[in-house]
Structure 1
Amino acid sequence: MRRAIAWVMVSILVLAGGYVYADAQDWVPGWFTAEPFDVPQAPFVTQEPVAVASPSGTDAVARIDTDAPRPSAAEVQALAEQVRADSRTGASTNISVVDYLDGTVYADVSAADPQVPASTTKLITVVAAVAELGADFTTTTTVAWVPRTRTLTLVAGGDVLLAADQGHHGDVDDAEDAAQGWAGLGDLADQVVEALADSLGEDVIVQIDDSDFPGPAWPAEWPQYAFDMGYAAPVTGLAVDGARLTDDNYAKRASDPSVHAGELFVEALEARGVAVDGEVTRASSPVADDARGREVASVDSAPLSEIARHLLSVSDNTVAEQVARVLAIEAGRKATPTGEAKAIIASLRELGVDVTGLELHDGAGYSERNQISPATMTSALLAARDEPALEGLLDWLPLAGLEGTVATRYEGLAPAGYWRAKTGSLTGVTSIAGVVVTADGRPLAVAILADGMPYGQEAPKAAFDDLLVALAECGCEG
C-alpha cells in the first residue's frame, strides 16, 4: 500500500515541476517507482498538484485523520527503551513520543533531561521566530544617499540570501528554492539609477552599514572548521547567497559578508553605468538613521515562512543564526548570541512550550553547550500545531525519502512519505525530531537525542531509524 501512495506522490510532484531536493542529485528514490495499487490517500500527500511557487502551508496536515486509532503506549514505550538499550546508542539516548493531536504520552525515556541537540536546535529557532514575528514577516535591505559626500550606503536589514543581481521575488518552479535570491542587489541598483538619474554624472562612493548586527559575526561557540569547510559564514545581517563565493552548497565563504555584498553592489551599479570611486568601506561608526541620508532604494526579503522552509530543509547554519538575531532585534534585544537566546526562550515560553532546562548559545545548533530536552522538542511541535502563524511547519520540515536532509536516508523504509523531520549531528551527538504517521494514520511527535556518543553517525542513526520504522509500520492499537 505504501509503495502505491509514494508512486502517486512522485508522479504528481514531477508534473508540478519537480519537488526533489537539489542535493539529492535530482533523482527520486527507487522505492517510489513500484507498481501502484488502489489505496486511500496518505496523510502527508495531496492528490491535487501543488502550486509550488505559492504553497498554502497546510498540505502536510490536510489529510490527517483525527479519529485514527491510537497506538499502545506500552508497546511504543518498549520500542523506545530498546533504542536506549541498543549497543549502537547508549545511556545518553533520551526519547519523547507523544500524540501530535492531543499530547498523549506514548514513550518517555528520560524525555525531560536536557542534552546537546545539534541542528535540531533549528526547529526551536524557527518555532520561536515565526510565532513571534509571523509567517509573512520580512526584513528590508536599503540604500541611502548623501548628496554632499556623494555616498551611497548599503544598510543591512537581515537578509543573507540576496541575489547578486535581480531577485526572483517568488517566481520560482520549486518552493524549496524560493528563499534564495528572493530580492537582489540588482533591484537596489535599478532603484538607485531611477531615483538619482540627474545626480549620477560624477563618481559615487559606496559604503556598507551593518551596525544593527554587532556580533560577534562568528559566534564564539562555532568551530573554525565550519567556516573552513563552507558549512557557515559570519553573520553580519547582509550577504549574497549566504556569502558563498561559488555556486557550490559548501563553497568557500566570504570572511566579511557585508563588504562582499557591497562589492557585488558596486558591480551591479557599474553594470548600469554608475561610476564608483574607490573601494567599498564599512561606515566608520554606527550611522544614525537621520545621518544615513535619504533612502533611495529598498527590497524586502522572502517571507519568513519561505526562509524557515529553506533553513529546515537544508539545515542552513548561517540563515538559522541570522533569523535568531533578527528575532532578537524585533524583540527589543541586541542581535548577539545572548540576545537571541533570551528572545527564543521568551517566545517559546509565551507559546506554551515546556522550556525546563533549555539553554541556548546559538540559533543553529553548533554550540556544544546548548541544552534541549526531547520533551521540549515535542512540546514545541504541539504548541506550533495550535499557532496560526505556524500552520505550515510540517510542510517546512523536509519529507523523508524526498526532501532536504532526509531525502535519501529512508530509501525503501516505511517512514518514507510518512515522516517529516529535522536532523542533527555533531561529533558524538545524533538527534532527530519531527512528526511521523503510523500505519493506522495516527500522527506522532517524536524527538530522539543522543550525546556522549562515539565518533560516527551511522550506528546511532540506524538505531533511531529502527524505531521510526516501527512507528511508521505500527498498527499497534492501544
Structure 2
Amino acid sequence: MRVRLVGAVTGAVALLAGGYLWADAADLVPGWLTLAPVEEPQPPFITAAPVTVASSSPLPVTALDPDAPRPSAAVVQALAQAVRDDARTGDSTNVAVVDYLDGTVYADLSAADPQVPASTTKLLTVVAAVSALGDEATLTTRVLWDAGAATLTLVAGGDEMLAAGYGHGGAEVEAGTDPANGWAGIADLADQVAAALDDAGVTGDVAVAVDDSAFEGPAWPEEWPDYARNRGYAAAVTGLAVDIARIRTEDNADAEYTARYDDPSVNAGEVLAAALADRGVAVADEVTRAAAGSGAVEVATVESAPLSEIARHLLAVSDNTVAESLARVLAIETGLPGDPEGAATATRRALKAIGVDITGIELHDGAGFSEHNQISPATLASSLLAARDVPALDDLMSWLPLSGLEGTVETRYVDTPVAGYFRAKTGSLTGVTTIAGVIVTAEGRPLAVAILADGMPYGQTRPKAAFDEFLTALAECGCEG
C-alpha cells in the first residue's frame, strides 16, 4: 500500500498514511489545511516563499513495508538520462536516486560530481548541526551586569528570532504563525534585569551594550549577493536579532521579505534599552558594542526554540539568515571560529562523523547563496540516508516541506501524483535549479532523490517543469524492467 511521506524515522522508517490530510488540504473535507495559493510574489532566484507550515508531526504514523516492490534500476536510470537530455535542462544535470531503506542505487547520473547546490545546502546545514548539537538544544541569550561600569551587556547566543515583546515559549501560537520565531523575547529579559537591578538597589543611570564577538563575521558574508541585502532576502548575521532584523511597519507586518536593520545586534540592544526604560530603569546614552567586564555577572537569560523547531523553520521557508547563523553556532559550539570558514569546517566534520559521503564538498556559507559552494547529488542523498540512524534527526522527514502542502513546495505539486508523497528541499540561483528529498513510489518504496543542474540560462520555470516530470514518473513508477 502506498503511504504519504509525513512521519519520522526511528530505526525502521516511520511514515504517515495521510489520505485525510491531503483531502483536507484540497478542501474536500473539513479541516484547517488548505492548498489555496499564497498571494505573495516569488522572489527571483530564491526558493523561499512566505507560506504557512502545516506541521504533520502530531498525526499517527505507520511504518513502511521494507518488502515493498523495488523499481528497476534500468528504468530509473533511463528516466534520469531523459531529464538530462531534456532541452529545458542540459548536460550539467546530475542525478542520484537511491533506496531510502537500504541504499540500493537506482540511478547514478554523474551523481558524485559536485556542483552549485543553491539552497539544498541548507539540508546539510541542518543535518550537521542537529546531529552534533541535538534536536532539543537551545540557544541562550544572556544579559550581564557590570556594577563597576554600571553597564548591562546583551550577549549574542545565536538566536536571530527574538520577540520584541514577550516570547511565547512554545505555547500555542496564532494560526499561520511560525512557532520558531519569537519563542524567547526581549521583554522576558527586561523583566529579569529590572528585578535584579531593583534587588541590588541600583537607582542611577545604566548603560546598555551588546557583545556579539563570538560571531566573528563578516556579518554579511562576502559570498552573498548585494540583491539579497537590497531586497530583504537576508539580514547581517550577528547571532543576535529581533524578528531576524526585519524593519516592521503597518504595511509589512507579516512580510517574509522586507528591509532589515543594518546592525541587528545594536537594534536588539535598543529594543532592550526601551523595554528597560518602560520598566523605570534609567538608561543612559546610546547602545554600544563592547564585551562585558571581567567582573560582570549574569542577571537574565532566555532560551530559543529547540533546534528541531529552528530546523523546521529554516527548511520550510529557506531562511538564509537563520541557516547561516546555525552553521556558525555549530562552529562555536565545537570550538571553531564563528565565521564562514569555521562554519564550513564544522559542517564537514559533523557530516563525516555520521557517515555522510562528503567527497568533493566545498562550503562557503550555510545557506546556499554562494555560487562557489560545491555539493554532489550523492552527498545530498547520503545525508538523507545517514540521518536515518541519528536519533536527533528522527524527525527530519517532518521538517522537510511536504509536496503540495508546505513551505517551498506548497503549491508546486498540486493536482499531481507527487502531492503528499515527497518531502524535499528546493534550491535556485541564477542558472541553478536543485531539489533533494525522499519520494514514495506508487508501490510504496521510498527513494532518496537529488537532482542538481547548473550553468543554465536565466529562469526557473523550464528546468523545474522538467524536474517535476521526472519526479512524477518516479511517484507513479512500478518501474519494472
TM-score, normalised with respect to structure 2 = 0.88
Superposed, which structure 2 residues align to 1:202-217 within 5 Å? 202-217=204-219
For these two proteins, the number of residue pairs brought into alignment is: 447
Q: Which residue in 2 is equivalent to 1:452?
A: 455
Offset at residue 275 of structure 1 (A): 2.2
State yes or no: 1:422 paired with 2:425.
yes
Q: Which residue in 2 is equivalent to 1:273?
A: 280
**Alignment check: 8 A CA contact 1:186 1:265 kept:** yes
- Amino acid in structure 1 at the alignment position of 2:236: P
- Amino acid in structure 2 at the alignment position of 1:71: P
Residue 263 to residue 19, structure 1, CA distance change in 2 (3 Å): farther
Take 1:222 and 1:6, find their aligned partners in 2: how far apart are those partners?
A: 41
Q: Which residue in 2 is equivalent to 1:282?
A: 289
Take 2:343 and 2:181, find their aligned partners in 1: how far apart are those partners?
A: 23
Residue 8 to residue 18, structure 1, CA distance change in 2 (3 Å): closer
Q: Which residue in 2 is equivalent to 1:195?
A: 196
Match among 232, 235, 257 for residue 237 of structure 2: 235
Offset at residue 22 of structure 1 (A): 11
What SS does structure 2 have at the residue aligned with 1:164? coil
Residue 22 to residue 132, structure 1, CA distance change in 2 (3 Å): farther
State yes or no: 1:380 paired with 2:380.
no
- Superposition RMSD in Å: 2.5
Q: Which residue in 2 is equivalent to 1:391?
A: 394
Take 1:135 and 1:297, find their aligned partners in 2: how far apart are those partners?
A: 24
Q: Which residue in 1 is equivalent to 2:156?
A: 156
- Amino acid in structure 2 at the alignment position of 1:216: P
**Alignment check: 8 A CA contact 1:61 1:394 kept:** no
**Alignment check: 8 A CA contact 2:68 2:444 kept:** yes
Take 1:373 and 1:8, find their aligned partners in 2: how far apart are those partners?
A: 33
What SS does structure 2 have at the residue aligned with 1:399? coil
Residue 271 to residue 19, structure 1, CA distance change in 2 (3 Å): farther
**Alignment check: 8 A CA contact 1:437 1:444 kept:** yes
**Alignment check: 8 A CA contact 2:144 2:298 kept:** yes
Q: Which residue in 2 is equivalent to 1:45?
A: none
What SS does structure 2 have at the residue aligned with 1:111? coil
Residue 112 to residue 326, structure 1, CA distance change in 2 (3 Å): same
Take 1:206 and 1:397, find their aligned partners in 2: how far apart are those partners?
A: 39
What SS does structure 2 have at the residue aligned with 1:197? helix
Offset at residue 386 of structure 1 (A): 1.1
Segment of structure 1 superposing worse, 174-183 or 438-447: 174-183
Residue 138 to residue 16, structure 1, CA distance change in 2 (3 Å): farther
Superposed, which structure 2 residues align to 1:54-453 within 5 Å? 55=57, 62-173=62-173, 177-198=178-199, 199-246=201-248, 247=253, 248-283=255-290, 286-287=291-292, 290-291=294-295, 293-453=296-456
Q: Which residue in 1 is equivalent to 2:9?
A: none
**Alignment check: 8 A CA contact 1:21 1:404 kept:** no
- Amino acid in structure 1 at the alignment position of 2:24: S
Take 2:37 and 2:353, find their aligned partners in 1: how far apart are those partners?
A: 36
**Alignment check: 8 A CA contact 1:114 1:374 kept:** yes
What SS does structure 1 have at the residue aligned with 2:198? coil
Q: Which residue in 2 is equivalent to 1:474?
A: 477
Q: Which residue in 2 is equivalent to 1:38?
A: none
Take 1:129 and 1:21, find their aligned partners in 2: how far apart are those partners?
A: 32
- Amino acid in structure 1 at the alignment position of 2:150: R
Offset at residue 94 of structure 1 (A): 0.2
Q: Which residue in 1 is equivalent to 2:465?
A: 462
Offset at residue 19 of structure 1 (A): 5.2
Offset at residue 2 of structure 1 (A): 9.5
Q: Could you give the per-residue CA deviations for residues 284-343 of structure 1, whole angstroms, max 9, x where no partner exists?
A: xx446x34x110000011101100000000000000000000000111100011001000
Take 2:474 and 2:350, find their aligned partners in 1: how far apart are those partners?
A: 31
- Amino acid in structure 2 at the alignment position of 1:263: E
Structure 1 unmatched runs, 5+ = 27-50
**Alignment check: 8 A CA contact 2:3 2:444 kept:** no
What SS does structure 1 have at the residue aligned with 2:479? coil
Offset at residue 62 of structure 1 (A): 3.8
TM-score, normalised with respect to structure 1 = 0.89
What SS does structure 2 have at the residue aligned with 1:160? strand
Segment of structure 1 superposing worse, 195-204 or 120-129: 195-204
Superposed, which structure 2 residues align to 1:45-56 within 5 Å? 55=57
Segment of structure 1 superposing worse, 201-210 or 71-80: 201-210
**Alignment check: 8 A CA contact 1:165 1:186 kept:** yes
Take 2:215 and 2:400, find their aligned partners in 1: how far apart are those partners?
A: 28
Residue 297 to residue 310, structure 1, CA distance change in 2 (3 Å): same
Take 1:158 and 1:261, find their aligned partners in 2: how far apart are those partners?
A: 13
Residue 130 to residue 9, structure 1, CA distance change in 2 (3 Å): same
What SS does structure 2 have at the residue aligned with 1:153? strand
